[in-house]
Structure 1
């Protein structure tokens, strides 16, 4: 299934996507408190779609809603390691089920993403974040299991943001190669390589996160 066009999305869905991008790309700085009115002005949307978007992002751990305002969670390496404990088995299951259940539409979507990812410059963080979100969504949808999709959403946003904040061009080059290999394996119907690449990615992410912890000591 191809991404929904803007014309078919609700204003709340558009608001959620725009806010998620602003949070993941750290345009809304970690640890800050923002007012609902400021978000309405930033997005150019009304109170109702912005509130609906905030509720959705709250369920995905990307914001915390309180009386003081909307809190953008701080970057926390220990939280990332805990998320990886959940993310690793869920992504493995998602890939395994995708290889069993994907159809021609799924493969076409993987191919479209691969065509954009392979030539992406290693310093294009925003572009990589956009494609990474598409990859996670495409694999989860190819699993044909809505519970996998909903569970992945609770881990992916914060994980992407942490990586986005600290990653170097070399990190992006390494991850791009892994994701390209994973996509090629899915497109070709390989049941082994995509899972192996996911395991390599998880090992890398744990090491990456621990390096950030050590650097802050």
Structure 2
């Protein structure tokens, strides 16, 4: 395994463990112990931790690194930034959209579970990721996309732990459909407003459900 590939493997594994709460906020990430667990040398681990720190998923000081803590203040600040970035992305997506892609996505959101079958809690979040990707592509703004990608790991970590509320999943799906419809209609103002409403409702749910 080359040094670069080892670093990538370590980064992807640690990032997913942080997002999935396998590594909880405040967990110490010692270089030696982490390297032994992941199965690479210390140098790739050091590089992976540097990348994770740049994403805000790890707090590092010298040779000491921990999984970044979550507090109400941090989560509120994250959502404030999301609202600024994502409402603008929605406006641009409504302006530059590929109508066929958003029409197909709307149909995906409309397809609920079969009668009598339980709701799959993973599906709404898979579709949320699909919506993020569609908006990024439609907005066609390099700098805006880079800014959004910088916080997506933190968003995914919060989203994973807060998704157990079935009622919220159903409301979030409805909110996502409003966003998609607004983009499909080319309505920049409503696309931004619907995105802001969705994010504020999501923040309220997060603050009620996360062990902060």
Q: What range describes the TM-score normalised by the shorter chain of this pair?
A: 0.7 to 0.9
Confirm whether residue 159 of structure 1 aligns to residue 155 of structure 2. yes
Contact 2:109–2:177 (8 Å) recurs in 1: no
Runs of 5+ consecutive residues of structure 2 not aligned to the other structure: none
Confirm whether residue 169 of structure 1 aligns to residue 169 of structure 2. no
Q: TM-score, normalised by structure 2?
A: 0.72
**Aligned in 2, Cα 1:33/1:102: closer, same or farther, shift over 3 Å?**
same
Confirm whether residue 124 of structure 1 aligns to residue 117 of structure 2. no
**Aligned in 2, Cα 1:35/1:95: closer, same or farther, shift over 3 Å?**
same
Whichever of the two has the greater Rg, that structure is 2
**CA RMSD across the alignment:** 3.6
Deviations along 1:74-114, whole A, 9 cap, x unmatched? 2211111112222212111111111222346xx53883696
Runs of 5+ consecutive residues of structure 1 not aligned to the other structure: 1-9
Equivalent residue for 2:131? 135
Equivalent residue for 1:31? 26
Confirm whether residue 56 of structure 1 aligns to residue 36 of structure 2. no
Deviations along 1:120-156, whole A, 9 cap, x unmatched? 764524x544443443343223211111112223333
1:201 aligns with one of 198, 201, 206: 198
Structure 2 CA distance for aligned equivalents of residues 116 and 45 of structure 1: 41
The DSSP-based 3-state class of the residue aligned with 1:31 is coil
CA apart distance, 1:190: 4.1
Q: TM-score, normalised by structure 1?
A: 0.71
